[in-house]
Amino acid sequence: MDEKVYEVISPEALYERTGIQKQIFNTIYQLMAMKEEQPEALSGAESLLMIPDYFHYMLTGVKRQEYTNATTTQLVSPVTKTWDYELIRQLGYPEKLFTELSMPGTVVGTLTKAVQDEVGFNCKVVLPATHDTGSAVMAVPVPENGERKGHETEKTHDTDGGLLYISSGTWSLMGTELSEADCSAESRKANLTNEGGYEYRFRYLKNIMGLWMIQSVKKELAAAGEEYSFAELCRMASHETIKSIVPCNDDVFLAPESMTEAVKAYLRKSGQEVPETAGALAAVIYNSLAQCYKETVEELEAITGRTYQAVNIVGGGSNAEYLNQLTAKATGKTVYAGPGEATAIGNLLAQMIRAGEFQGLTEARAAVYNSFEISTYQ
Listed in sequence order, the residues at least 6 apart from 24 whose beta carbon sits closer than 8 Å to its beta carbon are: 1, 2
Q: Are 125 and 109 in contact (CB under 8 A)?
A: yes
Measured in whole angstroms, how far is the alpha carbon of residue 134 from the centre of its chain? 7
Burial class (CB in 10 A: 0-12, 13-18, 19+), 63: middle
Q: 286: closest CA among 328, 225, 333? A: 328
Q: What is the DSSP letter of 287?
A: H
Known catalytic residue at 2:
no
The b-or-e profile of 228-258 (16+ CB within 10 A means b, else e) is bebeebbebbbebebebbbebbeeebeeeee
Please confirm whether the linkage preceding 11 is cis (ω < 30° from 0).
Answer: no
User: DSSP string covering 6-48, please?
Assistant: HTTS-HHHHHHHH-----TTSHHHHHHHHHHH-HHHHHH----
Q: Which of 53, 84, 132, 182 is catalytic?
A: 132
Q: Which residues are catalytic?
A: 132
